[in-house]
């Protein structure tokens, strides 16, 4: 017989966790679920300052890294302002396309955000969420 206590350790509230991370980095971004489709794990609306997330993720680690990735975008937007951020992001995407890459995937803002998120997860959040 399997003990129920050993199977049911803890349930994570994704929305609460995402909001906690956003507040930890002194941001006022809103967090919404369910508006992301296609291959993207999340999307950041820099005009409205909203982090849109999928409804489910394969692991807690992937969820945390995704939220941290979008937090990096929100932090850049906070530093630059949304108009300058939009202009610089678009220019970086055009540069990536001119070099034969993808506007989104090869964008330097995306690469920087992904790198930062993975480092930040390993450095700060891995012990708390594993």
Q: Please name the residue that has the structure tokens 């909203």.
A: 50
Q: Which sequence spans correspond to the domains of the chain?
A: 12-129
DSSP output for 75-120? HHHHHH-HHHHHHHHHHHHHHHHHTTS-TTTT-HHHHHHHHHHHHH
CATH architecture group of domain 12-129 = 2-Layer Sandwich (3.30)
What does pTM read for this prediction? 0.88
DSSP output for 3-55? -HHHH------HHHHHHHHHHHTT---EEEES---TT-SEEEETTTTEEEE-S
Please give the C-alpha separations between residue 64 and each of 8, 74, 92, in angstroms, as whole numbers. 21, 15, 25
pLDDT digits (tens, 9 = 90+) for 68-111: 999 999 999 999 999 999 999 999 999 999 999 999 889 999 99
- Is pLDDT above 60 for 6? no
pLDDT digits (tens, 9 = 90+) for 9-36: 567 789 999 999 999 999 999 999 987 8
- Is pLDDT above 90 for 40? no
Gyration radius of the chain over CA positions: 16
Average of pLDDT values for 103-121?
95
- Is pLDDT above 50 for 126? yes
Confidence of residue 1 (pLDDT cuts 50, 70, 90): very low
Average of pLDDT values for 116-126?
96
Average of pLDDT values for 35-44?
83
């Amino acid at each position: 017989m399997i003990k129920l206590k050993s199977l049911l350790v803890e349930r994570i509230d994704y929305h609460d966790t995402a909001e906690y991370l956003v507040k930890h980095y002194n941001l006022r971004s809103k967090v919404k679920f369910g508006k992301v489709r296609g291959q993207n794990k999340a999307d950041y609306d820099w005009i409205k300052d909203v982090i849109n997330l999928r409804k489910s993720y394969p692991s807690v680690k992937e969820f945390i890294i995704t939220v941290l990735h979008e937090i990096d975008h929100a932090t850049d937007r906070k530093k630059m302002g949304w108009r300058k951020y939009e202009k610089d992001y678009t220019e970086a995407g055009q540069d990536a396309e001119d070099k034969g890459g993808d506007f989104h995937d090869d964008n330097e803002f995306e690469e920087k955000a992904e790198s930062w998120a993975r480092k930040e997860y390993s450095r700060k959040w891995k012990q708390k969420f594993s």
